[in-house]
Amino acid sequence: MHTVKHNYTTMPEPLSCAGSIHPRGLRFSRAMVFAIEQINNSTELLPGIKLGYEIYDSCSSVSVAVHVAFQLSGGLDPVFNTGDKCSKSGMVMAVVGASASTPTISMSRIIGPFNIPQVSHFATCACLSDKQQYPSFFRTIPSDKFQADALAKLVKNFGWTWIGAVRSDSDYGNNGMASFLHAARKEGICVEYSKSFSRTHPRSRIQRVVDVIRRSTAKVVVAFTSTGDMKILLEELSRKPSPPRQWIGSEAWVTDPDLLRFSFCAGAIGFGIEKSVIPGLRDFLLDLSPSKLADSPLLTMFWEEAFNCRLVKSEATDRTVCDGTEDIKTLQSSYTDTSELRITNMVYKAVYAIAHAIHNAVCQKTDSTTQCDKFNKLEAKEVLNQLKKVNFSQNDYDVSFDANGDPVAKYELVNWQRNESGSIDLVTVGHYDSSLPVGQEFLINRNLTWVEGGTQVPVSVCTDSCPSGTRKVLQKGKPICCYDCTPCPEGEISNATDSFDCFPCPKEFWPNAERDTCIPKPVEFLSFNEPLGIVLAAFSIGGACLTIITAGVFYRHRSSPIVRANNSELSFLLLFSLTLCFLCSLTFIGAPSEWSCMLRHTAFGITFVLCMSCVLGKTIVVLTAFKATLPGSNLMKWFGPSQQRLTVVSFTFIQVLICTIWLLLSPPFPMKNLTTYKERIILECALGSALGFWAVLGYIGLLAVFCFVLAVLARKLPNNFNEAKLITFSMLIFCAVWITFIPAYVSSPGKYTVAVEIFAILASSFGLITCIFAPKFVIILFKPEKNTKKHLMSRGL
């Protein structure tokens, strides 16, 4: 079209189209004529009624389409005003077309108020489903809303989350891309760029779109464009090598055979209208007799352009006259190619839909015959109402419309595959049916080839998937598909890729090194199998053995002065209690149980009180023995053997009573300590009652301090062997050990708390046996000359 300036004072010249005939569009119009002739020759559909028609070329121009719409709605065209055989002269019953959304929108706004039904075969804009704006519009091709949803699901199906998008700057491209972007966002797909262009734009603008495609990091490009716009874009891309891109196409261009020559688009996939077969159409298309050519200016123009010659009455003076040897059967053109009848079938179904609507309005079936009233003054509004109800099958293809005038959306998934000769074929590799349940719409039944002929699905993501054990952290200012992969925090895992959150493990579990699985925490306690446990157990048994050996030596020399010097009965009882002290430390080693927890603390408390009672008894004996030597003293009468035994029993009974109350009210129990260490469980004995535990320790400490004070008082008593000095040293060690024990016990973590307690037991026990019995042991075995009453009674220096 050329631009014309109008002065609005004179009638403008008639609009005309410039340029060449589009063979594919010509095939569409001829398919309409073929369908009408079939209907006019049918004895079942509209018998006795002939349909007339007029074909207009909109030239993909809104102004031409608007001009035609006014002619149709106003009855200005002379074709509709001639002859008396028409039911209603000058009125159009229905319109088929147009082949693009923008001209169709313009036409529908004009003819809609006149209730003239319009059935389009190629206008896919989702906006046309709005019955408030386009009440008389129908279409046999699915709405772009379904195609946009299908494209989004297709992109999601192959794991592409980072894509580019280009579109025609038209109602078809803008509305279709808007629907796709909305569906893509719901599928979690991010768009790096979205650019619009038109073949009418300056080349510089198209070059800017091409540059964006070349510089982008997205490997997948979704193109919602018309065939003409896509051709311009691909021609610009082919001018110099570009990075490989995986093209995803809308049905408008991805099934156009004329674009298969762009080999760098091999691997492109997209949705196309289902391929169909129309019996007899090819023969009709090839039947171009000289008379038919002469009667149609469009056919004349097509013939001359196809064979580069001119017919006799043609105005094409720059060509030679056609000599009659031209054979259309040998012509390679999209007009004669009926192997991919997709949109052509939409034209065919549109004509039949109108015919069925008219049939239902004017015909009635009586018995086995159908009677039609050819003189019925049919109104376009009646055809419109009947179109809403049509439901039939033609050549095994169902035709019906929903409340929005849309058919059921069914597509073929097509793939541009390179054949053995190197050219590209359009191969059907799957199907999409929107009427099927969610998740079952897709059926891919053949292997696809991808960009550059690859067999592996290309990857197009802004950021690689975050593996298990990490979580997504969105990058500031970028789409949600661009993120950093951050390891899960301590104690948390993620067991799925691309997780936004990590979740904590249960209390008794901890993440593995990869932080993708929760594994049971290792249970820790002081075991007989570990070095620390073995060493402590060895010292415990060694101490008990040493105590037994000492008791054996003392028993063998029980009549010797050094053994008899300080109540041998208390000495043997002390050795017995020390043996129990050594052995009770073994109850602290091993996995805690209900009985071991109660035994370890009570056994420790009672045996040590027994030990302290014996030491205290020995200290009192030393004091009373020397005080009894003073003139007039009768102390020994008040602290004889019976009183000594009673003292030991009384002090021990108090500890037994404390332990019994503790066990009855709130006994120790085994517990899993989950707080000291996050990554492991400490199996330990809970005190039950902290008051009970510290009462036991405090009572032992009280006896030790009392014993220490008495021993200090008796340390300077005259004798060559003053046992009070030995008791003083032993009590000094004992008190030092247990005073040190308290902060160490409180601050030691886990199993080391138990180890500290065992160490305190062993250290204080070894201190007692060493300080009290070692000197006597040495004299008995190695210095028997000192083991005499005279030596023991002599005053030391």
pLDDT, tens digit, for every residue of 561-584?
777 666 677 888 888 888 988 898
pLDDT of residue 2: 46
What is the per-residue pLDDT across 153-164, written as a single tens digit (0 to 9) for each?
A: 999 999 999 999
234 and 192 housed in the same domain? yes
Q: Are residues 446 and 478 in the same domain?
A: no
Q: Is residue 381 domain-shared with residue 474, that is, in the same domain? A: no
Cα–Cα separations (whole angstroms), residue 536 to 527, 540, 591, 754, 755: 10, 6, 15, 11, 8
pLDDT at position 84 is: 46
Q: How far is CA 408 from CA 171, 316, 339, 347, 412, in A?
A: 22, 46, 23, 16, 13
In whole angstroms, give the CA distance from residue 92 to residue 116.
7
Residue 11: inside a domain: no
Q: In 3D, which of 191, 160, 170, 338 has the Cα closest to residue 252?
A: 170
* Nearest Cα to Cα of residue 378 among 391, 363, 400: 363
Domain count, the chain: 4
CB 262 within 8 A of CB 242: no
pTM of the model: 0.64
User: Is 459 contained in some domain?
Assistant: no
86 occurs within a structural domain: no
686 and 640 in a common domain: yes
Examine the domain organization and report whether 272 and 283 are in the same domain.
no
Same-domain check for residues 425 and 371? no
Helices in 714-722 by DSSP H: which ranges? none
- Average pLDDT of span 433-445: 86
* Bridge partners, residue 432, by sequence: 411, 442
pLDDT at 149 over 60: yes
In a domain, 10, yes or no: no
Yes or no: say if 273 and 251 are a contact pair by the CB < 8 Å rule: yes
**111 & 213 share domain:** no
Structural domain of residue 578, as residue ranges?
531-791
In a domain? residue 465: no
Q: Are residues 177 and 207 in the same domain?
A: yes
Same domain assignment for residues 777 and 667: yes
**φ and ψ of 740, to 5 deg:** -70, -30
Q: What's residue 625's pLDDT?
A: 61
Does the pLDDT at position 430 exceed 80?
A: yes
Same domain, 669 and 706: yes
Give the pLDDT confidence score for residue 75 in this predicted structure.
60
Average pLDDT over residues 27-41: 94
The upper half-sphere exposure of residue 319, i.e. CA atoms within 13 Å in the direction of its Cβ, equals 18
* Pair 238, 293 in one domain: no
The pLDDT value given to residue 793: 56
Asked whether residue 707 falls in the same domain as residue 634, the answer is: yes
Mean pLDDT of 624-651: 65
> Is 369 contained in some domain?
yes
753-786 pLDDT per residue, tens = 888 888 888 888 888 888 888 877 777 777 777 7
Q: For residue 14, is it within any domain?
A: no
Q: Is the pLDDT of residue 797 over 50?
A: no
Q: What is the DSSP string of 286-299?
A: H---HHHHHH-HHH
Handedness of CA 697, 698, 703, 708 (dihedral sign): positive
CB-based burial label for 23 (10 Å; 0-12, 13-18, 19+): middle
pLDDT tens digits, residue range 258-296?
899 999 999 999 999 998 999 999 999 999 888 888 888
Q: Tell which of 363, 383, 400 closes a domain.
A: 400
